[in-house]
Amino acid sequence: MQKRTLGNSGLDVSAIGLGCMGLSFGYGPATEKQQAITLIRTAYERGVTFFDSAEAYGPYKNEELLGEALAPFRDKVVIATKFGFDFNAEGGQSGLNSRPQHIRNVAEAALKRLNTDVIDLFYQHRVDPAVPIEDVAGTVKDLIAEGKVKHFGLSEAGSQTIRRAHAVQPVTALQSEYSLWWREPEDDILPVLEELGIGFVPFSPLGKGFLTGAINAQTTFDASDYRNTVPRFSTEARSANQALVDLLGTIAADKTVTPAQIALAWLLAQKPWIVPIPGTTKLNRLEENIGAATVILSADDRAAIEDAVSAVTIQGARYSAEHQARINR
Protein backbone atom coordinates (compact mmCIF):
# COMPACT_ATOMS: atom_id res chain seq x y z
CA MET A 1 0.00 0.00 0.00
CA GLN A 2 1.07 3.58 -0.61
CA LYS A 3 2.31 5.58 2.37
CA ARG A 4 1.38 9.08 3.42
CA THR A 5 3.00 11.50 5.85
CA LEU A 6 0.81 13.19 8.44
CA GLY A 7 1.58 16.85 7.84
CA ASN A 8 5.11 18.03 8.59
CA SER A 9 5.60 15.55 11.40
CA GLY A 10 7.54 12.89 9.52
CA LEU A 11 5.06 10.26 10.74
CA ASP A 12 4.58 7.90 7.79
CA VAL A 13 1.53 5.65 7.74
CA SER A 14 -0.42 3.60 5.22
CA ALA A 15 -2.71 5.70 3.01
CA ILE A 16 -5.68 3.97 4.63
CA GLY A 17 -5.66 3.02 8.30
CA LEU A 18 -7.92 0.78 10.35
CA GLY A 19 -10.34 2.29 12.83
CA CYS A 20 -10.67 -0.41 15.48
CA MET A 21 -13.50 0.96 17.64
CA GLY A 22 -16.22 -1.20 16.11
CA LEU A 23 -14.39 -4.41 17.02
CA SER A 24 -15.09 -3.72 20.70
CA PHE A 25 -17.66 -0.97 21.03
CA GLY A 26 -20.39 1.10 19.46
CA TYR A 27 -21.85 -1.02 16.69
CA GLY A 28 -23.38 -3.92 18.58
CA PRO A 29 -21.76 -6.84 20.41
CA ALA A 30 -17.96 -6.99 20.42
CA THR A 31 -16.37 -9.15 17.75
CA GLU A 32 -15.15 -12.53 18.98
CA LYS A 33 -11.55 -12.07 20.08
CA GLN A 34 -9.81 -14.46 17.70
CA GLN A 35 -11.86 -13.20 14.79
CA ALA A 36 -10.86 -9.64 15.66
CA ILE A 37 -7.18 -10.58 15.93
CA THR A 38 -7.36 -12.27 12.53
CA LEU A 39 -8.88 -9.16 10.98
CA ILE A 40 -6.22 -6.85 12.48
CA ARG A 41 -3.37 -9.11 11.39
CA THR A 42 -4.87 -9.49 7.91
CA ALA A 43 -4.98 -5.71 7.65
CA TYR A 44 -1.26 -5.60 8.43
CA GLU A 45 -0.51 -8.32 5.89
CA ARG A 46 -2.38 -6.27 3.28
CA GLY A 47 -0.28 -3.19 3.96
CA VAL A 48 -2.13 -1.33 6.72
CA THR A 49 0.33 0.15 9.21
CA PHE A 50 -1.92 2.63 11.03
CA PHE A 51 -4.27 1.35 13.75
CA ASP A 52 -6.60 3.57 15.76
CA SER A 53 -7.84 2.80 19.27
CA ALA A 54 -8.89 4.59 22.50
CA GLU A 55 -9.31 3.80 26.16
CA ALA A 56 -13.01 4.63 25.69
CA TYR A 57 -13.56 1.73 23.29
CA GLY A 58 -14.84 -0.91 25.65
CA PRO A 59 -13.64 0.83 27.74
CA TYR A 60 -10.08 -0.50 27.69
CA LYS A 61 -10.81 -3.73 25.80
CA ASN A 62 -9.88 -2.36 22.39
CA GLU A 63 -6.39 -1.34 23.51
CA GLU A 64 -5.86 -4.79 25.00
CA LEU A 65 -7.00 -6.37 21.75
CA LEU A 66 -4.58 -4.30 19.68
CA GLY A 67 -1.76 -4.99 22.09
CA GLU A 68 -2.14 -8.71 21.55
CA ALA A 69 -2.90 -8.61 17.83
CA LEU A 70 -0.03 -6.31 16.87
CA ALA A 71 2.62 -7.74 19.19
CA PRO A 72 4.36 -9.85 16.47
CA PHE A 73 5.09 -6.75 14.36
CA ARG A 74 4.82 -3.91 16.87
CA ASP A 75 7.88 -2.09 15.50
CA LYS A 76 6.40 -1.98 11.99
CA VAL A 77 3.07 -0.29 12.80
CA VAL A 78 1.79 3.00 14.18
CA ILE A 79 -0.70 2.78 17.04
CA ALA A 80 -2.88 5.74 17.95
CA THR A 81 -4.88 5.91 21.16
CA LYS A 82 -6.68 8.60 23.14
CA PHE A 83 -7.28 10.16 26.55
CA GLY A 84 -9.89 12.53 27.84
CA PHE A 85 -12.72 10.78 29.69
CA ASP A 86 -13.65 9.47 33.11
CA PHE A 87 -15.64 6.24 33.35
CA ASN A 88 -18.18 4.98 35.85
CA ALA A 89 -18.31 1.53 37.42
CA GLU A 90 -20.47 0.25 34.58
CA GLY A 91 -17.93 1.34 31.98
CA GLY A 92 -19.90 4.32 30.72
CA GLN A 93 -18.39 7.75 30.17
CA SER A 94 -18.98 9.93 33.20
CA GLY A 95 -17.46 13.17 31.98
CA LEU A 96 -14.48 14.79 30.33
CA ASN A 97 -11.11 14.74 32.08
CA SER A 98 -7.94 16.15 30.55
CA ARG A 99 -6.27 17.23 33.77
CA PRO A 100 -2.50 16.74 33.50
CA GLN A 101 -2.22 13.99 36.11
CA HIS A 102 -5.11 12.13 34.50
CA ILE A 103 -3.40 12.30 31.11
CA ARG A 104 -0.28 10.81 32.71
CA ASN A 105 -2.29 8.05 34.36
CA VAL A 106 -4.02 7.17 31.09
CA ALA A 107 -0.69 7.06 29.27
CA GLU A 108 0.80 4.64 31.79
CA ALA A 109 -2.26 2.39 31.67
CA ALA A 110 -2.44 2.49 27.87
CA LEU A 111 1.21 1.47 27.55
CA LYS A 112 0.45 -1.66 29.56
CA ARG A 113 -2.76 -2.48 27.70
CA LEU A 114 -1.10 -1.98 24.33
CA ASN A 115 1.87 -4.09 25.41
CA THR A 116 4.30 -1.44 24.23
CA ASP A 117 6.90 0.96 25.57
CA VAL A 118 5.72 3.97 23.55
CA ILE A 119 2.46 5.37 22.18
CA ASP A 120 3.00 6.49 18.60
CA LEU A 121 0.16 9.03 18.48
CA PHE A 122 -1.68 10.22 21.59
CA TYR A 123 -4.87 12.16 20.93
CA GLN A 124 -7.00 14.25 23.24
CA HIS A 125 -10.30 12.49 22.53
CA ARG A 126 -12.47 15.56 23.12
CA VAL A 127 -11.59 19.11 24.13
CA ASP A 128 -12.10 19.65 27.86
CA PRO A 129 -13.33 23.21 28.57
CA ALA A 130 -12.24 22.87 32.21
CA VAL A 131 -8.55 22.45 31.30
CA PRO A 132 -6.60 25.01 29.23
CA ILE A 133 -5.41 23.37 26.02
CA GLU A 134 -1.94 24.73 26.77
CA ASP A 135 -1.84 22.51 29.88
CA VAL A 136 -2.92 19.50 27.82
CA ALA A 137 -0.32 20.13 25.14
CA GLY A 138 2.35 20.77 27.76
CA THR A 139 1.63 17.48 29.49
CA VAL A 140 1.89 15.53 26.25
CA LYS A 141 5.08 17.47 25.45
CA ASP A 142 6.52 16.18 28.72
CA LEU A 143 5.45 12.62 27.90
CA ILE A 144 7.20 12.94 24.54
CA ALA A 145 10.36 14.18 26.27
CA GLU A 146 10.17 11.17 28.57
CA GLY A 147 9.94 8.80 25.59
CA LYS A 148 6.47 7.50 26.46
CA VAL A 149 4.73 9.19 23.51
CA LYS A 150 5.99 10.07 20.03
CA HIS A 151 3.32 12.37 18.60
CA PHE A 152 0.46 14.57 19.85
CA GLY A 153 -2.99 14.66 18.30
CA LEU A 154 -6.37 16.32 18.81
CA SER A 155 -9.85 15.09 18.00
CA GLU A 156 -12.87 17.24 17.04
CA ALA A 157 -11.00 20.41 18.03
CA GLY A 158 -11.75 23.82 16.55
CA SER A 159 -9.27 26.01 14.70
CA GLN A 160 -8.33 28.27 17.63
CA THR A 161 -7.83 25.30 19.94
CA ILE A 162 -5.59 23.72 17.32
CA ARG A 163 -3.51 26.90 17.04
CA ARG A 164 -3.12 27.26 20.81
CA ALA A 165 -2.11 23.63 21.26
CA HIS A 166 0.27 23.70 18.31
CA ALA A 167 2.10 26.69 19.78
CA VAL A 168 3.02 24.60 22.84
CA GLN A 169 3.58 21.18 21.27
CA PRO A 170 3.38 20.61 17.49
CA VAL A 171 0.20 18.76 16.64
CA THR A 172 0.86 15.84 14.31
CA ALA A 173 -2.75 15.04 13.41
CA LEU A 174 -6.32 16.10 13.91
CA GLN A 175 -8.90 13.33 13.94
CA SER A 176 -12.44 14.45 13.16
CA GLU A 177 -15.41 13.24 11.18
CA TYR A 178 -15.15 13.94 7.46
CA SER A 179 -16.85 12.26 4.54
CA LEU A 180 -19.08 12.92 1.56
CA TRP A 181 -21.98 13.36 3.97
CA TRP A 182 -20.19 15.46 6.61
CA ARG A 183 -18.04 18.14 5.03
CA GLU A 184 -17.91 20.76 7.77
CA PRO A 185 -14.07 20.53 8.12
CA GLU A 186 -13.68 22.08 4.67
CA ASP A 187 -14.94 25.44 5.89
CA ASP A 188 -12.42 26.24 8.61
CA ILE A 189 -10.35 23.24 9.63
CA LEU A 190 -8.59 22.09 6.46
CA PRO A 191 -7.06 25.53 5.73
CA VAL A 192 -5.65 25.71 9.27
CA LEU A 193 -4.20 22.21 9.05
CA GLU A 194 -2.55 23.04 5.72
CA GLU A 195 -1.13 26.29 7.10
CA LEU A 196 0.34 24.62 10.18
CA GLY A 197 1.46 21.38 8.53
CA ILE A 198 -0.87 19.08 10.47
CA GLY A 199 -2.21 15.80 9.10
CA PHE A 200 -5.91 14.97 9.02
CA VAL A 201 -7.35 11.59 9.99
CA PRO A 202 -11.05 11.37 9.07
CA PHE A 203 -13.08 9.00 11.21
CA SER A 204 -16.40 7.64 9.95
CA PRO A 205 -15.18 8.20 6.36
CA LEU A 206 -18.00 5.95 5.16
CA GLY A 207 -20.71 7.74 7.14
CA LYS A 208 -20.83 5.06 9.86
CA GLY A 209 -21.49 2.49 7.14
CA PHE A 210 -24.20 4.35 5.27
CA LEU A 211 -22.05 5.24 2.25
CA THR A 212 -21.28 1.57 1.60
CA GLY A 213 -24.80 1.03 0.30
CA ALA A 214 -25.36 -1.80 2.79
CA ILE A 215 -27.80 0.23 4.90
CA ASN A 216 -31.22 1.48 3.85
CA ALA A 217 -34.48 2.63 5.45
CA GLN A 218 -35.44 -0.97 6.27
CA THR A 219 -32.20 -1.83 8.06
CA THR A 220 -32.48 -2.64 11.76
CA PHE A 221 -29.60 -2.28 14.19
CA ASP A 222 -28.67 -4.28 17.28
CA ALA A 223 -30.09 -2.77 20.47
CA SER A 224 -26.58 -1.82 21.61
CA ASP A 225 -25.69 -0.10 18.31
CA TYR A 226 -25.32 3.61 18.99
CA ARG A 227 -26.64 4.50 15.54
CA ASN A 228 -30.08 3.94 17.07
CA THR A 229 -29.57 7.29 18.84
CA VAL A 230 -28.25 9.20 15.81
CA PRO A 231 -30.83 11.47 14.11
CA ARG A 232 -29.17 10.92 10.73
CA PHE A 233 -29.99 7.21 11.07
CA SER A 234 -33.69 7.64 11.74
CA THR A 235 -35.85 5.77 9.23
CA GLU A 236 -36.96 9.02 7.65
CA ALA A 237 -33.43 10.39 7.34
CA ARG A 238 -32.10 7.15 5.87
CA SER A 239 -34.86 7.20 3.30
CA ALA A 240 -34.04 10.79 2.32
CA ASN A 241 -30.27 10.24 2.35
CA GLN A 242 -30.50 7.19 0.10
CA ALA A 243 -30.27 9.58 -2.85
CA LEU A 244 -26.60 10.21 -2.06
CA VAL A 245 -25.77 6.50 -1.98
CA ASP A 246 -27.64 5.96 -5.24
CA LEU A 247 -25.57 8.67 -6.91
CA LEU A 248 -22.35 7.17 -5.55
CA GLY A 249 -23.47 3.80 -6.87
CA THR A 250 -23.88 5.21 -10.37
CA ILE A 251 -20.43 6.83 -10.30
CA ALA A 252 -18.88 3.64 -8.87
CA ALA A 253 -20.46 1.44 -11.54
CA ASP A 254 -18.91 3.59 -14.26
CA LYS A 255 -15.47 2.91 -12.76
CA THR A 256 -16.19 -0.74 -11.87
CA VAL A 257 -15.60 -0.13 -8.18
CA THR A 258 -17.91 0.12 -5.14
CA PRO A 259 -19.60 3.15 -3.55
CA ALA A 260 -17.37 2.73 -0.48
CA GLN A 261 -14.26 2.81 -2.64
CA ILE A 262 -15.44 5.99 -4.36
CA ALA A 263 -16.11 7.61 -0.97
CA LEU A 264 -12.64 6.72 0.33
CA ALA A 265 -10.88 7.61 -2.92
CA TRP A 266 -12.60 11.00 -2.82
CA LEU A 267 -11.16 11.65 0.64
CA LEU A 268 -7.68 10.59 -0.46
CA ALA A 269 -7.92 12.95 -3.42
CA GLN A 270 -8.68 16.00 -1.27
CA LYS A 271 -5.19 16.41 0.23
CA PRO A 272 -2.02 14.27 0.28
CA TRP A 273 -1.92 14.49 4.08
CA ILE A 274 -5.39 13.02 4.65
CA VAL A 275 -5.49 9.43 5.95
CA PRO A 276 -8.99 7.96 6.47
CA ILE A 277 -9.48 5.19 9.01
CA PRO A 278 -12.54 3.15 8.01
CA GLY A 279 -13.52 0.48 10.49
CA THR A 280 -15.02 -2.92 9.84
CA THR A 281 -15.53 -6.31 11.45
CA LYS A 282 -15.65 -8.19 8.14
CA LEU A 283 -12.70 -9.39 6.05
CA ASN A 284 -14.46 -8.73 2.75
CA ARG A 285 -15.13 -5.12 3.76
CA LEU A 286 -11.51 -4.78 4.87
CA GLU A 287 -10.35 -5.87 1.41
CA GLU A 288 -12.82 -3.48 -0.20
CA ASN A 289 -11.60 -0.55 1.88
CA ILE A 290 -7.95 -1.29 1.23
CA GLY A 291 -8.72 -1.51 -2.48
CA ALA A 292 -9.83 2.13 -2.43
CA ALA A 293 -6.18 3.18 -2.19
CA THR A 294 -5.68 2.10 -5.81
CA VAL A 295 -8.72 3.99 -7.17
CA ILE A 296 -7.56 7.09 -9.01
CA LEU A 297 -10.04 9.92 -9.46
CA SER A 298 -9.35 12.38 -12.25
CA ALA A 299 -10.29 16.05 -12.05
CA ASP A 300 -13.36 15.22 -14.13
CA ASP A 301 -14.27 12.40 -11.73
CA ARG A 302 -13.99 14.71 -8.75
CA ALA A 303 -16.08 17.35 -10.49
CA ALA A 304 -18.78 14.78 -11.26
CA ILE A 305 -18.83 13.64 -7.63
CA GLU A 306 -18.99 17.27 -6.46
CA ASP A 307 -21.94 17.97 -8.78
CA ALA A 308 -23.76 14.84 -7.66
CA VAL A 309 -23.25 15.43 -3.95
CA SER A 310 -24.20 19.11 -4.12
CA ALA A 311 -27.55 18.08 -5.54
CA VAL A 312 -28.46 16.17 -2.36
CA THR A 313 -29.36 17.81 0.96
CA ILE A 314 -28.38 15.43 3.75
CA GLN A 315 -31.10 15.01 6.39
CA GLY A 316 -30.59 14.58 10.14
CA ALA A 317 -28.01 15.72 12.68
CA ARG A 318 -24.85 13.64 12.90
CA TYR A 319 -25.08 13.26 16.70
CA SER A 320 -27.75 13.10 19.36
CA ALA A 321 -28.03 16.19 21.57
CA GLU A 322 -26.29 14.30 24.41
CA HIS A 323 -23.36 13.31 22.24
CA GLN A 324 -23.10 16.73 20.65
CA ALA A 325 -22.84 18.29 24.09
CA ARG A 326 -19.47 16.56 24.58
CA ILE A 327 -17.95 18.39 21.64
CA ASN A 328 -16.18 21.55 22.76
CA ARG A 329 -14.06 23.28 20.22
Do the domain assignments include residue 214? no
Distance separating alpha carbons of residues 207 and 309, to the nearest angstrom:
14
Do the domain assignments include residue 105? yes
Distance separating alpha carbons of residues 272 and 204, to the nearest angstrom:
19
Do the domain assignments include residue 301? no
Task: Give the pLDDT confidence score for residue 35 in this predicted structure.
Answer: 98
Distance separating alpha carbons of residues 3 and 104, to the nearest angstrom:
31
Do the domain assignments include residue 33? yes
Distance separating alpha carbons of residues 280 and 315, to the nearest angstrom:
24
Q: Where residue 13 sits, what CATH number does that domain have?
A: 3.20.20.100
Task: Give the pLDDT confidence score for residue 325 in this predicted structure.
Answer: 85
N-to-C CA span, the chain: 34
Q: Are 4 and 272 in contact, with CB atoms under 8 Å apart?
A: yes
Q: Are strands 149-155 and 119-124 parallel, antiparallel or unpaired?
A: parallel
Task: Give the pLDDT confidence score for residue 323 in this predicted structure.
Answer: 87
Host domain of residue 163: 3-207+267-293
pLDDT averaged over 10-residue windows placed end to end, the chain, 329 residues: 97 98 96 98 98 97 98 98 95 94 98 98 98 98 98 98 98 98 96 98 98 96 95 97 94 96 98 98 98 96 91 94 88
DSSP result, 196-245: HT-EEEEESTTGGGGGGT---TT----TTBGGGG-GGGSHHHHHHHHHHH
Q: Are 299 and 39 in contact, with CB atoms under 8 Å apart?
A: no
Residues recognised as catalytic: 57
How far CA 310 is from CA of 7, 181, 230, 249, 304, in Å, comes to: 29, 10, 23, 16, 10
Torsion angles phi and psi, residue 291, rounded to 5: -60, -20
Q: Total domain count for the chain?
A: 1
Do the domain assignments include residue 317? no
